[in-house]
Structure 1
C-alpha cells in the first residue's frame, strides 16, 4: 500500500508520519502534499490506497479533493483531519465515504486506530476485488468454450434456437429479427505444413487463436461468430447472420486477417442462403460438402461456395483406381522398395495430370490404398497425413513424399512391444490433456498400472522423465501463445495447465532460459 498525507501545515504531516506504525502494514511509499492540486498530481502518478487530508487548504480545499477522489479513485480510503468541528466540514467526509474524521490537535491513539482501521478495510476490499477479478478471468476464459459447445449443439440440431436466441442477441450481437443465415467451414488441418506447426500441431489451440482473429474482424458490424465445432473435430465454423449476401466478401476479409497474422490463407467452404434457425443443420452440411467437392489442384480462390454434386464424380468412376491398387498389391507382395516407389510416382503423376481432383475423391483413393497396406502390415500403425505446401494448398509433390516415406517405413517392418504401445498411448493422452491437472497417480489409475511402472516404462522407452515431458509440452504450447497472441500471462498460464502465474513463470524460465515476458519481447524483436 501507498499513503498520501495532505495538509498545508508541516508539523501536522510530520506528526502523522511519526505516530502511525507504517511497517506493520507494509506501506511501500508515503507521499506529502500541501493542497488538493498537489494531491491530485500525486494520486494520478502513484495511486495511494489511503489519504489523510486537512479540510482548509489553499488552491483546493479538502471538500473539493474528497469529491474528486470519490469520482476518480472510489476505492481509496480517506481520513479527514481538521481543526474545525463545523458541519460544513464534516458533511463532505460523510457524503464522499471518509472512514474517519479526526480533530486537531491530534490524539496519537485515535490517529493510530483510524489509520489501522483504514488499512484493514482497504486490504479486505482489495482481497475481495482480486477474488472477483480471478472469478471474472475464469469466466472470460470459459466463455469461448461455452459458446463453442452451445453453437456446436445448435448447428447439429442438439440445442434449441429459441432457448439460446436471447443470449445470441445480447452477447454475440445477432439481430433480434434475423431470419437468414449462411455457414462457412474452415478445416484446420488444411494448413498443417505451416499454421498447425506454429501451434505445435495442437488443433484446439489453433482453433482458439483463429476464432479470436475472426471474431475481432466481425466484431465491428457483429455480422456473425466463429467457433470450434465440437461435433466436427478439427474445423472452425463461422455462423453469419447479417449481410449474408456479402458473405464471400466477409470471408475474404477473414482470410486476409489470418494471412496478415500467420502468413497463410485457408480454404473455406460456404453454404448458400438458409432460413434461420431451421436451415442451420443443412447449411453446415452444405459448407462441408463445398469443401469436399473443391478442386484440390486449383491454385486461385480460397472461398468455395456450395454447388450441387455433379454426375460422374463418385468413387465408382474413380479414374482407374482398381488398376493402380493392383499395381500396389503386387509391389508390396514383392517386397521390392524401388518397385513400390515407382507405383507412388506413377500415382502422383496421375493425380497431377487430372483436370479435377476433389478432396472426397482423394480421401476415397487413400482409404483404398491404406487398406492394401494394412493387409500387408496388419501389426503396424498406418496413416497418411494431409499434404499441403507453405501456402496451405494441396501439394501432389508432398503427397508423393509422404507416401514414399510410409512405404519405406513399412518395408522395414514396424513391430511395437506392449510397453511401447502403452507409452505411446500415455504420450497421446498428455498431448490432448496437458491443460488439465495431471498427476502421476491420475495417469497410473487411467492406464491401470502402478505409479512406479508408469515412470519406469516411460523413461525406458522415451529416455525422458514423464514430468519433464509434460513440462516441456506445456512450455512449448505457452511459447506458441506468447508468439501468436496478446493474451495476458495469467491467461496463458491457465491455458497450459498452471493455476499460479508465478509458478508458471519459474517453470518457463527454468525450461526455456527466459521468463515468459523476456521470451515474448525477444520474439517480437526477431
Structure 2
C-alpha cells in the first residue's frame, strides 16, 4: 500500500508523516507533493492507494485533484485536510468519494482514525477485487467448457434450443431469427504428423487451440461458432447459422488459416443446409457421415460435402479384405513373422490400387486386424492408428510400416516387468491429467500402492523423481502454449495445473532458466 501527501505547507506534510503509525500497517512508500499537478505525476508513476490532500494549493487545487482522481483512479481513498469549513471546500470531498474531511490545525487522534479508516476500506475493497478477479478467471476457464457441453448436447438432440436461445444470441452473436443452418466437423485423425505432434499428441489441447482458430475466422461476420465436441466421431464442431450458402467457402478460409498458422490442412465434413433448430441433429449426422465416407486415397480436396448416396468399395473389395484377413489369421497361428509380413505387403499393394477406401472402412478394418493380432498377445496393447503422412493424408506405406513394426514387437514377446508396466501406466495417467491437482497420495490411491512405493518404483524404472517428471511435463505443455497461442500467462498457468501464476513463473524459470515472458519473446524473435 502506497501513500501520497499533497499540501503546499511543508509543516503539514511533516505532521501527517509524524502522527500516522505507518509501521503498524506495513507502509513504507510515502510520497509528497506541494500541488495538484505534482500529485498527478506521482499518481501516474506510483499509483498510491491513499491520498491526503489540502484544498487550497497553487497550480491545481484540491477540488480539481479530487475530480481527476475520481475519474482516473476510482479505487484510491482520499482524506481531505483543509483550513476552511466552507461548504464549497467540503462539497468536492463528498461528491468525489473522500473518506474523511479534517480541519486544520490537525488533531492527532482524528488524523490517525481517518488514516486507519481509509487503510481498512482500501484493504477490504482490494480483497473483494482480488476475489472478483479470481472468479472471473475461473469463469473464463469454465465458459468454453460450458459451451462445449451445451452445444454438443444441442446438436446431438440432448438439449432444448429454447433453453440456450437467448445465450446464443447475447454471447455468441447468433441472430434472433435463424431459418437454416449447416454443421461442419473437423477430425484430428489425419493431422498426426504435424498438428498433433506440435502439441505433443495432446488431443484436448490441440482441439482447444483449433477451436480458437476457427472462431477467429468466424468472429468478424458472426457466421457461427466452433466448439470441442463431447460426441464421438470428431473433435471440433462448427455450427453455422449465417451465410449458409457460402459455408463451403468459409470452410476453405478456415483451412487456409490453419495452414498459415500450423502448416497443415484439416479434413472437414460439411452437411447440407437444414432447418434451424429442428434440423440440427440431421445436419450433425450428415457432417459426421461425410467425414466417415471420405476417400482416404484421394490426395486433393479437404472439404467433404455430404452425399445422399455415399460410395462403396463394392463386394469385390470387401471379399478381398476378408481373404487377406484369413491369410493373416493363418500366418499369426503359424507364428511365422515372414509369412505375416508377406501378407501385409500383399494387402498394402491391394489398398494402393483401390479407387475408393473410406474412413469407415478403414476403422472397421483396423478393428478386425486388432482382433486377429490379439492371438499373438492376448494381454497386450494393440495400437493401429498412425497411418498418415506429413500432410495429414492417409499413407499406405505408413500403414504397412507401422503394421509390420507391431507384428515384430508382438512376435518378440512382452519383456516388461510388472513394475515397468505400473510405471508406464502412471506416466500415461500423468500425461492425460497433468492439468489437475496432482499429489503423491492421489497417485498412490489411484494405483492401489503406497506413497513410498510409488516414488521408489518410479525412480528405479525412469531414473527420475515423479515430481520432477510432472513438473517437466507441465513446463513442456506451457512451452507449447507460449509458442503457439496468445493466451495470457494466468490462463496458461491454470491450463497446465498451476492456480498461482507467480508460482508457475518461478517453476518455469527454475526449469528453463527463463521467465515465461522471456521464453515467449524469444520464440517470437526466431
- The runs of at least 4 consecutive aligned structure 1 residues that moved more than 6 Å come to none
Q: Identify the residue that residue 394 of structure 1 maps to in structure 2.
A: 394
Structure 2 Cα separation of the partners of residues 151 and 315 of structure 1:
39
Q: Identify the residue that residue 471 of structure 2 maps to in structure 1.
A: 471
> Is residue 124 of structure 1 aligned with residue 142 of structure 2?
no
Q: Identify the residue that residue 506 of structure 2 maps to in structure 1.
A: 506
Q: Identify the residue that residue 246 of structure 1 maps to in structure 2.
A: 246
Give 1:144 shift.
0.5
1:343–1:113 Cα change, 3 Å: same
1:36–1:168 Cα change, 3 Å: same
Question: Residue by residue, what CA displacement relative to the aligned partner does 1:198-249 show, whole Å, maximum 9, x if unpaired?
Answer: 2221111111111122222222222211111112275111111111111112
1:285–1:28 Cα change, 3 Å: farther
1:460–1:311 Cα change, 3 Å: same
Structure 1 Cα separation of the partners of residues 379 and 97 of structure 2:
76
Q: Identify the residue that residue 86 of structure 1 maps to in structure 2.
A: 86
The answer for unaligned runs of 5 or more in structure 2 is none
Structure 1 Cα separation of the partners of residues 312 and 436 of structure 2:
48
Structure 2 Cα separation of the partners of residues 477 and 485 of structure 1:
12
1:20–1:324 Cα change, 3 Å: same
Question: Residue by residue, what CA displacement relative to the aligned partner does 1:486-516 show, whole Å, maximum 9, x if unpaired?
Answer: 2222222222222222332333333334332
Give 1:91 shift.
0.8
> Does the Cα contact within 8 Å between 1:315 and 1:364 map onto a contact in 2?
no
SS at match of 1:476: helix
Structure 1 Cα separation of the partners of residues 63 and 260 of structure 2:
53
**Greater CA deviation, 408-417 or 327-336?**
327-336
* Aligned 1:303-342 pairs, distance under 5 A: 303-310=303-310, 312-313=312-313, 317-318=317-318, 320-342=320-342
Q: Identify the residue that residue 300 of structure 1 maps to in structure 2.
A: 300
1:237–1:504 Cα change, 3 Å: same
Structure 1 Cα separation of the partners of residues 273 and 348 of structure 2:
37
**Greater CA deviation, 449-458 or 258-267?**
449-458
> Does the Cα contact within 8 Å between 2:313 and 2:357 map onto a contact in 1?
no
Q: Identify the residue that residue 424 of structure 1 maps to in structure 2.
A: 424
Give 1:382 shift.
1.2
> Does the Cα contact within 8 Å between 2:184 and 2:238 map onto a contact in 1?
yes
Give 1:350 shift.
2.7
Structure 2 Cα separation of the partners of residues 234 and 295 of structure 1:
16
> Does the Cα contact within 8 Å between 2:79 and 2:101 map onto a contact in 1?
yes
Q: Identify the residue that residue 410 of structure 2 maps to in structure 1.
A: 410
Count of residue correspondences? 526
Give 1:338 shift.
4.1
1:306–1:248 Cα change, 3 Å: same
Q: Identify the residue that residue 458 of structure 1 maps to in structure 2.
A: 458
SS at match of 1:401: helix
Q: Identify the residue that residue 271 of structure 1 maps to in structure 2.
A: 271
Structure 2 Cα separation of the partners of residues 25 and 390 of structure 1:
62
Structure 1 Cα separation of the partners of residues 239 and 353 of structure 2:
36
Structure 1 Cα separation of the partners of residues 244 and 221 of structure 2:
12
Q: Identify the residue that residue 221 of structure 2 maps to in structure 1.
A: 221
Q: Identify the residue that residue 20 of structure 2 maps to in structure 1.
A: 20
Q: What TM-score do you get using the length of structure 2 for normalisation?
A: 0.93
Q: What TM-score do you get using the length of structure 1 for normalisation?
A: 0.93
**Greater CA deviation, 450-459 or 128-137?**
450-459
SS at match of 1:375: coil
> Does the Cα contact within 8 Å between 1:379 and 1:415 map onto a contact in 2?
no
1:177–1:314 Cα change, 3 Å: farther
SS at match of 1:186: strand
SS at match of 1:320: helix
> Does the Cα contact within 8 Å between 2:376 and 2:411 map onto a contact in 1?
no
Give 1:316 shift.
7.4
* Aligned 1:64-75 pairs, distance under 5 A: 64-75=64-75
**Greater CA deviation, 124-133 or 396-405?**
396-405
Structure 2 Cα separation of the partners of residues 309 and 102 of structure 1:
86
Structure 2 Cα separation of the partners of residues 193 and 311 of structure 1:
28
Measured on the aligned residues, the alpha-carbon RMSD in Å equals 2.4
Q: Identify the residue that residue 47 of structure 1 maps to in structure 2.
A: 47
> Does the Cα contact within 8 Å between 1:19 and 1:108 map onto a contact in 2?
yes
Question: Residue by residue, what CA displacement relative to the aligned partner does 1:147-199 show, whole Å, maximum 9, x if unpaired?
Answer: 11111111111111111111111111111111211111111232111111122
Question: Residue by residue, what CA displacement relative to the aligned partner does 1:241-265 show, whole Å, maximum 9, x if unpaired?
Answer: 1111111122222222222322222
Give 1:291 shift.
0.9
Structure 1 Cα separation of the partners of residues 199 and 191 of structure 2:
11
